[in-house]
Amino acid sequence: MKKILCIVSEYGYWGEELVEPLELFDGAGYTTVFATPRGNKPSAIPASMDPTFKDPALGRSVVSPDVARKVKQIEASDRLTKPLNLNELMPESPYICAEKYLEKLEKYYADLEVAEKELMSYDALLMVGGSGPIIDMVNSQRLHDVVLAFYKQNKLIAAECYGVGVLVFARDPRLKQCIIRGKRVTGHPIEFDYKDNYGFVGLQPTIHEVPYHLEYMLRDAVGSMGEFIGNAGSPTSVVLDYPFLTSRTTNDSHLCGQLMIESLEKSLKRYGW
């Protein structure tokens, strides 16, 4: 039986990007363990449960009635009520200016080693997308350390939509090198960015400007030997350049889950490039 660690934002996840892979994991007999940055129950972005919502960039609905039903079902269930707390799962690195910095740094690395051993029970990592990850996942040091633990163990690391941004900043603080340099990745391209209405659950006021262009971040991160593959105009865009599996946006969620299973069951290492 495979075991998946699924990281979800507390500021709003896109429903389909959780329920589609999860349905496939359940069907395959996998165990899925959820975690959030502070251990609070995550909530779906309301638009991701609304079949009448029209994506501003695409000009059409991106939420089917069936997906809306599934998202409402998991929101009403108890599956997300007690997620793991990343603040408890992973240690916090000390400030460089902290008193007894070297002593605290040694303790941090000792605690990190213990945490990494705990993560060895998982077979893969999935970071769910939506606008929420912009707030509490992309720049989370503790989540970066989770990603690095899976990377060191050569285990599958999957990220969807704005969750892909985590891979830009997840790097060993001693080496400061980007782990996706030289890799092929996809993600939310500029053509898909909203000009307004970036909704975040539990955060007011709503951010109306695009927080950042993920495409530019990813292009710089992979460098000249890698490639950002946006596939604008194509109905799907999922790229596997092992150990990284990246998924562009909402309607890529099902394929993302399928490829995770194929990678885990059939050792698939490459797809989409």
Q: For residue 34, what is the enclosing H or E element?
A: strand 31-36
pTM of the model as a whole: 0.94
DSSP three-state, residue 6:
strand
Can you read off the two tokens belonging to residue 265?
Answer: 């069951």
pLDDT, tens digit only, all 273 positions of the chain = 899 999 999 999 999 999 999 999 999 999 999 999 999 999 999 999 999 988 877 778 889 999 999 999 999 999 999 999 999 999 999 999 999 999 999 999 999 999 999 999 999 999 999 989 999 999 999 999 999 999 999 999 999 999 999 999 999 888 889 999 999 999 989 888 876 655 677 766 555 566 778 999 999 999 999 999 999 989 999 999 999 999 999 999 999 999 999 999 999 999 999
As a whole number of angstroms, the distance between CA 240 and CA 251 comes to 16
How far apart are the two ends of the chain, measured CA to CA in Å? 30
| Residue-range definition of the domain harbouring residue 81 | 3-271
What CATH number does residue 207 fall under?
A: 3.40.50.880
Identify the CA nearest to 240 among candidates 213, 261, 217, 214: 261
For position 58, what pLDDT does the model report?
Answer: 77
What is the Cα gyration radius of the chain? 18
Name the 3-class secondary structure at 61.
Answer: strand
Alpha carbon 58 to its chain's center = 22
Domains: count for the chain: 1
Strand partners, 193: none
Report how far residue 59's alpha carbon sits from residue 182's, in angstroms, rounded to the nearest whole number: 34
